[in-house]
């Protein structure tokens, strides 16, 4: 059996999710026995335009990136969006609150026009995506699970329950009970509730579950002293691509 040819690509991002892939370390060496990694600019010099599976990190923030991602779609049989920037837009979308001319001016001043930028968007705004690995950054166990399932030709199991479920399983004291603010009730699980476990509120980096009870969650936030605008601002930290979803 020929090994599937796998490529990694990055668009606008911190490349932290690919770094998570590099931190699976000894398992990465086992994985390399099962697949041919044919393109992974952050880690290797070899490069190929012929691949079956593409992992794509980052969001689309330039006109030229639209063409590049379409080319990847034309080549790859399977595309997996890797991390919040690719799946839901991530922090890159925070700039979308301004006109792009203003964004360019804030950073580059009078040379702004040299730096093309468009409102940031997740890759599925441009192409069809087959699978999503959520999070900022991704969770390495979930990366391994999803990759294994894809290699076995199975559909990966992605949780459709909120972070609260995992948080309770870890027997954490609910942060709302401590008077804190948390996006856990509406955010897709799979991170093992890592932020609440370290006594920090979930920031929603894995995106909303399929059927979130936003009105009840907003009431909770309101009880902790957040105005409606501040609540929406919380949803927008990683998911700023779709403000209308939160209103």
Partner 1 sequence: MHDFHVGIEHITRVEGHGNIIIDVKEGKIRELRMDIVESPRFFEAMALGRSYKEVAHITSRICGICAVTHTTTSIKAIEAALGFEPSAQTIRLRKLLLNAEFIQSHILHVYFLTAPDFFRVGSVFGMVKDNKEVVLRGMRIKTIANELCALVGGRHIHPITLKIGCFSKNPESKDLAAFKKRIEDLWPDIEETVKFFKGLKTPEFERETEYISLTNPEEYALYDGNIKSSDNGEIEPSDYLDTVKEFMVTHSTSKHARSNRDSYMVGALARFNNNCDQLHPKAKEVAEELGLKPPCYNSYMNNVAQVVETVHCFEDSIRLIDDLISGDLKDEKIELIPKTGHGVGATEAPRGTLYHEHKIDDNGKITYANYIIPTGQNLSNIENDLRTLVPNILDQPKDDIILNIEMLVRAYDPCISCATHLMKVKFINE
52 SS3 class: coil
> Would you call the peptide bond into 96 cis, given omega within 30 degrees of 0 as the criterion?
no
Our finding on whether 243 is near partner 1 (CB under 8 A) is no
Which 35-54 positions form the footprint of partner 1 (CB under 8 A)? 37, 40-47
Residue among 104, 134, 187, 241 that touches partner 1 (CB under 8 A): 104
Q: How far lies 225's CA from each of 161, 182, 200, 228, in Å? A: 26, 13, 17, 10
What's the Rg (C-alpha) of the chain? 19
Query: Residue 91 or residue 164: which is nearer to partner 1 going by CB?
Result: 91
Which 171-200 positions form the footprint of partner 1 (CB under 8 A)? 194-195, 197-200
Query: Residue 199 or residue 213: which is nearer to partner 1 going by CB?
Result: 199
Q: Which residues contact 152 (CB under 8 A, 6 or more apart)?
A: none
- Taking residues 51 to 90 in sequence order and writing x for each that binds partner 1 by CB under 8 A, - otherwise, the string is ----------xx--x------------------------x
- CB of residue 211 to partner 1, shortest distance in Å: 27
- CB of residue 102 to partner 1, shortest distance in Å: 8
User: β-strand 36-40 against 78-82: which pairing, if any?
Assistant: unpaired
Strand partners, 5: 36
Helix axes 214-223, 228-239, angle to 10 degrees: 120
- CB of residue 208 to partner 1, shortest distance in Å: 18
At 72, give phi and psi (nearest 5°): -65, -40
Binding site for partner 1 (CB under 8 A): 10-20, 22-23, 25-26, 29, 32, 37, 40-47, 61-62, 65, 90-92, 94-95, 97-98, 102-104, 106-108, 111, 114-115, 117, 136-137, 194-195, 197-200, 203, 233, 237
């Amino acid at each position: 059996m020929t090994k599937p040819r796998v490529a990694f690509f990055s668009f606008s991002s911190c490349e932290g999710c690919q770094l998570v892939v590099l931190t699976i370390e000894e398992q990465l060496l086992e994985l390399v026995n099962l697949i041919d990694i044919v393109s992974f600019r952050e880690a290797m010099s070899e490069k190929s335009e012929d691949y079956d599976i593409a992992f794509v990190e980052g969001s689309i923030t330039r006109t030229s990136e639209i063409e590049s991602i379409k080319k990847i779609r034309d080549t790859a049989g399977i595309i997996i969006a890797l991390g919040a920037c690719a799946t839901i837009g991530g922090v890159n979308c925070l700039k979308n609150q301004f006109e792009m001319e203003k964004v360019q001016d804030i950073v580059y001043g009078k040379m702004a026009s040299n730096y093309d930028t468009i409102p940031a968007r997740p890759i599925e705004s441009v192409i069809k995506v087959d699978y999503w690995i959520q999070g900022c950054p991704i969770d390495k166990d979930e990366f391994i699970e999803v990759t294994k399932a894809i290699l076995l030709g199975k559909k990966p199991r992605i949780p459709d329950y909120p972070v609260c479920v995992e948080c309770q399983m870890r027997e954490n004291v609910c942060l709302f009970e401590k008077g804190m603010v948390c996006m856990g009730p509406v955010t897709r699980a799979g991170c093992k509730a890592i932020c609440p476990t370290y006594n920090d509120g979930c920031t929603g980096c894995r995106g909303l579950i399929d059927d979130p009870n936003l009105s009840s969650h907003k009431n909770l936030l309101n009880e902790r002293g957040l105005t409606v605008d501040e609540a929406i601002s919380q949803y927008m930290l990683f998911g700023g691509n779709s403000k209308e979803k939160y209103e």
